[in-house]
Amino acid sequence: MIDFKKITTGLAFCSLMIGFSTNSLAQNARIKIDLDRKIGEVDKKIYGNFVEHLGRCVYGGIYDPGNPLSDENGFRLDVLEAVKGLNVSLTRYPGGNFVSNYNWKDGVGSKEDRPTRLELAWSRLESNQFGTNEFMDYAKLMNTEPYFAVNLGTGSILEAQQWVEYTNVESGPYYAELRKKHGYEKPHNIKYWSLGNEMDGPWQMGHLSAEDYAKKAREAGKLMKLTDPSIKLVAAGSSNFYPGANPMHWNRVVIDELKDVVDYLALHMYVGNVEDNYYAFVASPLVLEERTHLVKGMIDEAMTRANRKGKDPIYIAWDEYNIWYRWRSSETMSGDIALEERYNLEDALVIASFLNAFIRNADVVKIANMAQLVNVIAPIFTNEEGLFLQTIYHPLALFAQYAHGTALDVFVDSETYNTGDFALGLGEQRADLKNVPYLDVSATVNGDEVIINVVNRHKDKAITTDILAFEGEFSGDFEVFEVNGPDIKAMNDFGKTTVETKSKSLKGKGDKVTYAFPAHSYTMIRAKIK
């Protein structure tokens, strides 16, 4: 962190109030933008999402044959349009816990011949009417890069190899020819593959010890890479800090054993306001950041001993993150209310802070996937007649559209608070965060455009903030987007939009502008510094 007092010396301040709020103004804060303080390139793959065969994510979500809102392939067109608004860069498929009892061969070929299976991860029946090729057709429509997970639970390393052959080999071997027989002449060329899902968790089918997982993942990865050397591999890390777990042991072993093999380590995080403690909840993404730093340290150490022959270091893939505490299980055998969280404004602020954390760690976090896309802990919620956009849709859409380029190390001076001891989520460890700034900030620069993302965690007060350009000047035109609502529990519903993005254009020139960030809000400022 830079010393604010030193760097401000000599700046000619041109104070300009560019925005006001109706809340009473509580505190003053400063944000300093220095274009030379670069963290790393923001990988657009941090704006990823996740489609799992679970509840109404696939069936009744993106795929709903026979519904008048669907096209001839069964894809819900209203859902597709909403999905496109998220600019989803990378979509993980088909699970999740589901993948650990999935045989991909059940989901290809003629639909009449596909078997219905008992699906043990979520206690449901899987019809297999949607599989690899349907997902790839959908991925093209949504303009996303696919990211597949192989089954390293009940599945074999051979099944994993054959899936890569089916999807990525042009012609010749049996499974490449089978794909062609299924109507897909050209390979799908799926570049990103994860080696199992949450294999550290006792709930995972085929759960392994870290040592056994590392061996199986290495051999699966070997066969997959022999089939297509261009693929990128993601190892299953551990971020499950439930009582008695030892996630850092798992990560140490897996990083060490796979340090020459994999390209990413996957981490997952779900938080929840289980104790109805607003200030603790909105600070909880800082724990994700702390875990990022811990794992980054382990990776850095392992990279000094690795033999990667000019390859990039291992990066972190937060390939599941979200708020999840209200609907924890399938609830019914039909699974029709599985994990159907309904989100409010405080949840949207947490999502904005997760995204801020990814940007602040852009040097190491190169993949992130919100879990999940539709209905199941999701930003889009459907019924048979339509859909609505949940509160968490809005920050994700804004970041994915605008927050690109280089992440900046921003100086923030804001009042702080302590959370005290609190539960991060269901079954999770407790945290006690000290000196949490009311303003949670990230910034990116792309050409001369600067994007500043600010969550004001204060529940009641706006925070008047001087935004300073260390070098150059704000050129005069600002576009301001704000996600907010009447109160922190405000929610959207069918036919009722309470929390959404509002935008305005403001004018102001100089090396300092002043803006009042409203209480409980997420604000994105688009500016130019010249």
List the beta bridge partners of residue 411.
32
Concatenating the DSSP letter of every residue in 230-281 gives: T-EEEEE------TT--HHHHHHHHHHHTTTT-SEEEEEEEE--TT--HHHH
Q: Is 375 left (phi over 0), alpha (psi -120 to 50) or beta?
A: left
Minimum CB distance to ligand AHR, residue 132 (Å): 18
Of 51 and 387, which has the nearer Cβ to ligand AHR? 51
- Taking the least distance from each CB to ligand AHR, the nearer of 97 and 464 is 97
Encoding tokens for residue 338? 């599985």
- Diameter of the chain measured on Cα atoms: 75
Is residue 347 within the footprint of ligand AHR (CB under 6 A)? Answer: no
Nearest approach in angstroms of CB 405 to ligand AHR is: 30
Tell me the site size for ligand AHR, rule CB under 6 A: 10
Its sign, for the CA torsion 199, 314, 41, 143, is negative
Our CA dihedral for 378, 384, 389, 392, rounded to 10 degrees, sits at -10
Nearer to ligand AHR, 268 or 520 (CB): 268
DSSP helix/strand/coil, 140: helix
- Rank residues 255 and 371 by Cβ distance to ligand AHR and give the closer one: 371
What string marks each residue from 383 to 422 as x (binds ligand AHR by CB under 6 A) or -?
Answer: ----------------------------------------
Q: Is 247 in the site for ligand AHR (CB under 6 A)?
A: no
Question: Is residue 131 involved in binding ligand AHR (CB under 6 A)?
Answer: no
Task: Single out the segment in contact with ligand AHR by CB under 6 A; choices: 92-100, 252-260, 345-353, 355-363.
Answer: 92-100
Amino acid at 349: L
Q: Which is nearer to ligand AHR, 26 or 274 (CB)?
A: 274
Whether residue 429 contacts residue 243, with contact meaning beta carbons closer than 8 Å, is answered with yes
With respect to ligand AHR, which residue has the nearer C-beta, 203 or 494? 203
Choose which of 295, 355, 371, 483 interacts with ligand AHR (CB under 6 A). Answer: 371
Is residue 97 near ligand AHR by the rule CB under 6 A?
A: yes
Closest separation in Å from C-beta 315 to ligand AHR? 19
CB of 52 to ligand AHR, least distance (A): 5
The yes or no reply on residue 153 touching ligand AHR (CB under 6 A) is: no
Angle (nearest 5°) at CA 128 between 126 and 129: 125
Stretch that binds ligand AHR, among 93-101, 154-162, 400-408, 500-508 (CB under 6 A): 93-101
CB-based burial label for 254 (10 Å; 0-12, 13-18, 19+): buried
Query: Which bin fits 226, alpha (ψ -120 to 50), beta or left (φ > 0)?
Result: alpha
> Please, which residue, 97 or 514, has the CB nearer to ligand AHR?
97
Interaction mask 250-279, ligand AHR, x per CB under 6 A: ------------------x-----------
Q: Among all residues, which ones are annotated catalytic? A: 198, 320
CA distance 132 to 156: 18
Q: Indicate the Cα dihedral angle 203, 209, 215, 217, nearest 10°.
A: 30
| String marking each residue 298-337 x if it binds ligand AHR according to CB under 6 A | ----------------------x-----------------
- The residue number with the shortest CB distance to ligand AHR is 96
3-state SS class at 443: strand
Under rule CB under 6 A, residue 52 binds ligand AHR:
yes
Verify binding: residue 198, ligand AHR, rule CB under 6 A. yes
346 in contact with ligand AHR (CB under 6 A) = no
Query: What crossing angle do the helices spanning 345-360 and 285-303 adopt, rounded to 10°?
Result: 20
Closest approach, Cβ 201 to ligand AHR, in A, equals: 7
Nearer to ligand AHR, 151 or 168 (CB): 151
Choose the binding region for ligand AHR from 90-98, 360-368, 392-400, 443-451 (rule: CB under 6 A).
90-98
Span from 91-99, 353-361, 467-475, 497-505 in contact with ligand AHR (CB under 6 A): 91-99
In sequence order, the 6+-apart residues with CB closer than 8 A to the CB of 37 are 2, 408, 409, 410
Residues 6+ apart with CB under 8 A from 22: 518
Phi-psi category of residue 528: left, alpha or beta, with phi > 0 → left and psi -120 to 50 → alpha = beta
Residue type, 498: T
Residues in contact with ligand AHR by CB under 6 A are 52, 95-97, 197-198, 268, 320, 371-372
